[in-house]
Every structure is written in structure tokens, then in C-alpha cells.
């Protein structure tokens, strides 16, 4: 795969120094290679986006909406191949890969509708002072760089690409070097739809490519999803240019289970929150706070449920959980298993890498984990759940909020008034009540504290790619 970069409407060979090896995590073996983009090619991509901007931002809202609907339709037509690629390169079970594809389709369709409503967003502003009129214009912020992670490729890029194009921005997209293949689909669709050259550009690469894009002075905004360590570097690069950023970073989220909850139902929500995508989610509810009155009934059920999960190769087996996506992540999770043994944590389930080909680990549950344990405070990004007991609602809220992260949380209780009250008290960006982590394109996504800056999805996602201009006119 030499022509792996889409720049100014053309597929070009990578000219960088890095060779990207793409692996199948269920086997632990590479199946594709591509050459990274060079710094000069990043320059070319930004220049192409800059050249395309004046025309694209003047394109009618209905035309942009038609392109977005075209992306949704083309994704649907490629459904089978994209689901298989998600399973192969990410290790996702089939049902998860299907939801990913549906999510991406829904995102483009939703922002097509918002794009058509944009003309109504320009409105007159009433003034208290006589002799003047004022109106508001919403304009595209300009050329944006989009850097997306490996855990939800196709999906995270849709969350950024669709609203950016709807707003009238032109973009340079950098996929993760771990999962670079599926994002090529967006370039193929752009070709098929006749999207004007330079509106969408795709450059693949490792850290050098990402650094070249995030520090480029030709960007007007940068949107990044990934780790806190890289996010802080992105923010430093943006600060040198005084450039706005959207950052969706890590999490160490809590799921709070009160003693009026049905334990079997609670187990379903808990397991989904920690094992979906093999726990490789910034939103993974990896801290379980369980009330004293239900703990003795719930923990054995949870242990049994985790031990019954079918873990394997999604392309050859019917599985509930696939492998970790990269060897690096597999080694990281294994290091936390070693830390747990050193700390003497009580392991009720799992706690080990599986003795088989590929990057598999067991779904894991630790009980009575101290608050100062690294496993309680640090983002692991794997199917590792740590449990603690609490006595009162106030204690649950305090312990859930005692984190440097603030992305999401889940509350489980038959007392809906209490559940709503606790949801309001949690210092996070999104709360589920008595539910798995259902994410809808109409709602917002993003966190507080160290979990990032800004919001994606919903109208908030669109506004992140818009600039507000006021025009005031003297009538005298």
C-alpha cells in the first residue's frame, strides 16, 4: 500500500522515513505496510486545504449537506468490508464493529441535517441603544487538523470530519499509525462523490507526522483525541500559534451501584462498561463503587459473568471480547497485572495475559482496591475493573469525584430521584443512569478536569468548527 496518502484530491506515495506495519491483533502478526508521509507532504496537505477553503466555505449549505449524505450512503454500501476490517485490524467482535459502522453513518446523516439549517443561524441581534443594527454571522473557523486514535477509527474521525465539513472547514486528517487503513475509506468516498480537491486530505504517519501537523502554522484549529501525554504536547504546539483546540483525552470513570439495584441487571451494565472494545475506551467505567448492602450479592455474580465471557479471534470464533489492539497496549496492561501482584490486590477474576497467539488478556476484577493504588487512579485502557465499597450517597459522590479525570460516569439505582441527584453531583461530561454506554449523535461528548477541552457531537460539535462574527451598522 504505497499510495496511502490523499492530498489535493490525489493518492500519493509516502515519502517519510517511517514504515508503518499494520497488524492483526488476534494473531499478533502484520498484514500490511505503508510508508509514512514526510513533513513536506504534511505541508502540501495543509496548503491544499488552505487553497480549497475560499471556495468550499462559500458552497451552499444544501450542497455541503448533499456531500455529507453521500458519505453516509457510501459507508453503508461498504458495510461488509468495513466491518471485517474493524474486526481484523482492531480485534473488535462483530457486534461492536457493526455498531461502529452504524455510528459513523448516523454522524454524517445528522450533520447533513444541521448543515441545511445553517442559513437560519445568521440572525439579527436586538440592541438596547438606538441608531444601530447588529447581526450575527457563523463562519467556518478555517483549516483544521484532525488527529484521531486507534481504539475507534472510522467513528472518531466521523465525529470530527462531518461537523467540520458541515461548517465549511477544510481538513487534514491524520489517522493512528496502529489503525491507518480504515480511514482511507474517506478518501475513496471523496473521490467517488467528487468532493472538491483539497477539502479533505489524509496523511498517515507516526509521531513525526503528528508533530508536523499539530505545530503547523497553516492551521486555524486542531482537534485531537488520544492520550493525555500526547494531548499536552498538542496543546503546547497550539499555544505557540495561539490556536484553538478541542481535546478529548483520558478517563478513569466510576460506575456507582446502589443497594436497591437488581444485582443481575447491575452486572450487565458493569460488564459492558469495562469489556466493550476490550476496555480500550476513554469512557471505560473502570472504578466500581458498590454500596455495602449489595456488595456481597453483586461481586460473586460479577466474577462469574467475567469468567464466562468468550474471549477470542472475532474472525474465526463467536466472541464477547477480542484482543487488545496492539502489542504495546498488551504489554501495558500486563504491567498493571504485575503492579497488582506487587500491591497485593485481591483478584477475583482474570489478572493475566492469556497463553495463546495474539494480544489477549482476561477480563479482570480486583476487590477492595485502596484509593492510593495505581490501578485505582491511573487509566489502564484494558478490561481491568477495580471495586470499592461505600456506605452513603455522599461518600459515593465524593469518591467518584476524587479523580483527576472527569469524562463519564454511570449511576445504577431503582430510586430514580436519587439517581438523577447523584448524576447532577458528578463532575463529568456525560452520565448514564441504569444503562450501558449508549452514545447518540444528538448528545454532547467530552469531559471536565484532565479529560479534555470542548465538546463533540450534537450542535456543540458543529459550533466547535464555527467562528462567531457580529456586524454592527450605524443608521445615522
Three-state secondary structure of the chain? CCCCEEECCEEECCCCCCEEEEEECCCCEEEEEEECCCHHHHHHHHHHHHHHHHHHCCCCHHHHHHHHHHHHHHHHHCHHHHHHHHHHHHCCCHHHHHHHHHHHHHHHHHHHHHHHCHHHHCEECCCCCCCEEEEEEEEECCEEEEECCCCCCCHHHHHHHHHHHHHCCEEEEECCCCCCCCCHHHHHHHHHHCCCCCCEEECCCCHHHHHHHHCCCCCCEEEEECCHHHHHHHHHHHHHHCCCEEEECCCCCEEEECCCCCHHHHHHHHHHHHHHHHHCCCCCCCEEEEEHHHHHHHHHHHHHHHHHCCECCCCCCCCCECCCCCHHHHHHHHHHHHHHHHHCCEEEECCCECCCCCCCECCEEEECCCCCCHHHHCCCCCCEEEEEEECCHHHHHHHHHCCCEECEEEEECCCHHHHHHHHHHCCCCEEEECCCCCCCCCCCECCEECCEECCECHHHHHHCCEEEEEEEEECC
Catalytic residue among 24, 177, 248, 399: 248
Catalytic residue among 24, 177, 261, 282: 282
Q: Is 282 a catalytic residue?
A: yes
Q: Is 248 a catalytic residue?
A: yes
Residues annotated as part of the active site: 248, 282
Amino acid at each position: 500500500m504505497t499510495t496511502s496518502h490523499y492530498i489535493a484530491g490525489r493518492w500519493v506515495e509516502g515519502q517519510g522515513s517511517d514504515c508503518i506495519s499494520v497488524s492483526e491483533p488476534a494473531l499478533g502478526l502484520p498484514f500490511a505496510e505503508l510508508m509514512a508521509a514526510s513533513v513536506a507532504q504534511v505541508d502540501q496537505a495543509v496548503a491544499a486545504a488552505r487553497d480549497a477553503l475560499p471556495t468550499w466555505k462559500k458552497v451552499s449549505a444544501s450542497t455541503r449537506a448533499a456531500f455529507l449524505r453521500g458519505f453516509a450512503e457510501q459507508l453503508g454500501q461498504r458495510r461488509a468490508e468495513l466491518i471485517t476490517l474493524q474486526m481484523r485490524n482492531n480485534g473488535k467482535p462483530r457486534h461492536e464493529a457493526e455498531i461502529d459502522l452504524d455510528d459513523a453513518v448516523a454522524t454524517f446523516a445528522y450533520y447533513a441535517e444541521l448543515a441545511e439549517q445553517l442559513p437560519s443561524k445568521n440572525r439579527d441581534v436586538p440592541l438596547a441603544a438606538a441608531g444601530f443594527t447588529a447581526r450575527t454571522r457563523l463562519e467556518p473557523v478555517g483549516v483544521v487538523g484532525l488527529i484521531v486514535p486507534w481504539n475507534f477509527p472510522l467513528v472518531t474521525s466521523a465525529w470530527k470530519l462531518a461537523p467540520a465539513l458541515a461548517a465549511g472547514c477544510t481538513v487534514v486528517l491524520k489517522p493512528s499509525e496502529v489503525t491507518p487503513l480504515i480511514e482511507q475509506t474517506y478518501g475513496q468516498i471523496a473521490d467517488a462523490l467528487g468532493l472538491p480537491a483539497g477539502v479533505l486530505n489524509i496523511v498517515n504517519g507516526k509521531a513525526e507526522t503528528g508533530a508536523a501537523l499539530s505545530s503547523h502554522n497553516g492551521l486555524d484549529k486542531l482537534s485531537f483525541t488520544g492520550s493525555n501525554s500526547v494531548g499536552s504536547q498538542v496543546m503546547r504546539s497550539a499555544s505557540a500559534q495561539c490556536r484553538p483546540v478541542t481535546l478529548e483525552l483520558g478517563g478513569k470513570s466510576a460506575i456507582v451501584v446502589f443497594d436497591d439495584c437488581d444485582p443481575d441487571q447491575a452486572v450487565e451494565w458493569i460488564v459492558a462498561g469495562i469489556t466493550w472494545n476490550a476496555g480500550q475506551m476513554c469512557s471505560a467505567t473502570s472504578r466500581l463503587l458498590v454500596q455495602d448492602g449489595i456488595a456481597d450479592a453483586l461481586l460473586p455474580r460479577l466474577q462469574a459473568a467475567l469468567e464466562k465471557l468468550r474471549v477470542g479471534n472475532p474472525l474465526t470464533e463467536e466472541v464477547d471480547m477480542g484482543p487488545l489492539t496492539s502489542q504495546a497496549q498488551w504489554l501495558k496492561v500486563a504491567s498493571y497485572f504485575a503492579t497488582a501482584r506487587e500491591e497485593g490486590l485481591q483478584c477475583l477474576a482474570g489478572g493475566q495475559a492469556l497463553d495463546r497467539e495474539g494480544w489477549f488478556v482476561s477480563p479482570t476484577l480486583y476487590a477492595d482496591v485502596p484509593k492510593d493504588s495505581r490501578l485505582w487512579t491511573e487509566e489502564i485502557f484494558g478490561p481491568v475493573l477495580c471495586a470499592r465499597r461505600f456506605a452513603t450517597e455522599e461518600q459515593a459522590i465524593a469518591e467518584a469525584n476524587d479523580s483527576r479525570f472527569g469524562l463519564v460516569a454511570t449511576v445504577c439505582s431503582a430510586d430514580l430521584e436519587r439517581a438523577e441527584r447523584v448524576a447532577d453531583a458528578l463532575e463529568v461530561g456525560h452520565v448514564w443512569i441504569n444503562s450501558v454506554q449508549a452514545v447518540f449523535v444528538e448528545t454532547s461528548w467530552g469531559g471536565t478536569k484532565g479529560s479534555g477541552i470542548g465538546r463533540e457531537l450534537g450542535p456543540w460539535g458543529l459550533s466547535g468548527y464555527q467562528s462567531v462574527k457580529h456586524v454592527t451598522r450605524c443608521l445615522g
